Structure 1
């Protein structure tokens, strides 16, 4: 005899409170440059490099996130990849830096809806009330290093290394189901 377990909730109920979507690929770069030269290199790349950790700057469809005193994450449409590489190469002699393409290393999930913040708290130790919309931070989700973006009050992005994505997605889906069940 086989046991069959049923639940009182549906996937539709789970996604009504919080939605998890994998986002389309983008060009990503890890940029290291001395803070004194950040403004010069930013102009060469077509955007201001923010000077405070967690701050974001956007221009021409490109986004720069300050991850550390001399470290930025640059995201742009895939079509902008070659232009960014060419601009960095041209600026290198006057402004030494390290620009490494990491596009294939990560994927991004959008977590949105009225229970998005609650879902993220299942495995993120950060106080998300302190993460203002329009900011992002490097943190952990369970034991996985991630970049967490807060795009709006109920709208987050989670950049995850591709090798850890199945683990993170599974945790998010378990949490989503638990929220729908009222656990």
Structure 2
């Protein structure tokens, strides 16, 4: 299997004094964008091994897999790297009876984990999204400064940003600047 190195690999920002904030490269995963008619969600859920919910913004998890509904007929799928081929094979077999588009976007994106009591504060530094209305277990496509991201809220203080590789350094730099301001109490 091809092992890649990306510019954020091994980077970490950690604040402990007075406020809890940890920002680091998230564990890599298989990433797929799925476009499928909502009436075929049952078949797609079975193929992916995790329920695909029809509510925009809803996530579901099962066995290390995560499905995020981004639109009325669009889902972002995440799974362990080792399962990428089996997912592609299963969806390829499904195509004859259930037309869909499954695109591997794993090499396009990088995950950044933002965790701790100051996670929302760090994210608000460059994202106008209303975090008070985002419950745990949901996700959305939004803008971080000028970069399009997918933002997943795992729980109250734990987020994952999925950003295109070409914007990763930019997003990381903004999070780094925000963490310095948080550390200084600005």
Give the TM-score, by structure 2 length.
0.89
Aligned residues: 173
Residue 3 of structure 2 corresponds to which residue in structure 1? Answer: none
Residue 96 of structure 1 corresponds to which residue in structure 2? Answer: 99
Residue 83 of structure 1 corresponds to which residue in structure 2? Answer: 86
Q: In the alignment, which of 39, 43, 62 is matched to residue 40 of structure 1?
A: 43
SS at match of 2:107: helix
Is the counterpart of residue 51 in structure 1 residue 48 in structure 2?
A: no
Dislocated runs of 4+, deviation >3 Å: 11-16
SS at match of 1:103: coil
Residue deviations 1:5-55, cap 9 Å, x none? xxxxxx755795311110121000000001111222221221211100100
C-alpha root-mean-square deviation of aligned residues, in Å?
A: 1.4
**2:15·2:21 contact (CA, 8 Å) conserved in 1?**
no
Segments of structure 1 that go 5 or more residues without pairing to the other structure are: 1-10
Residue 34 of structure 2 corresponds to which residue in structure 1? Answer: 31
**1:119·1:172 contact (CA, 8 Å) conserved in 2?**
yes
Distance 1:12 1:19, change over 3 A: closer
Q: In the alignment, which of 104, 109, 112 is matched to residue 112 of structure 2?
A: 109
Is the counterpart of residue 127 in structure 1 residue 130 in structure 2?
A: yes
Residue 184 of structure 2 corresponds to which residue in structure 1? Answer: 181
C-alpha distance in structure 1 between counterparts of 2:40 and 2:18, whole Å: 45
C-alpha distance in structure 1 between counterparts of 2:56 and 2:103, whole Å: 19
Alpha-carbon offset, residue 60 of structure 1: 2.4
Q: In the alignment, which of 19, 23, 44 is matched to residue 22 of structure 2?
A: 19
Distance 1:45 1:173, change over 3 A: same
Bigger-Rg structure (1/2):
1
Residue 4 of structure 1 corresponds to which residue in structure 2? Answer: none
C-alpha distance in structure 1 between counterparts of 2:18 and 2:114, whole Å: 10
Counting helix residues as a fraction of each chain, which structure ranks higher?
1
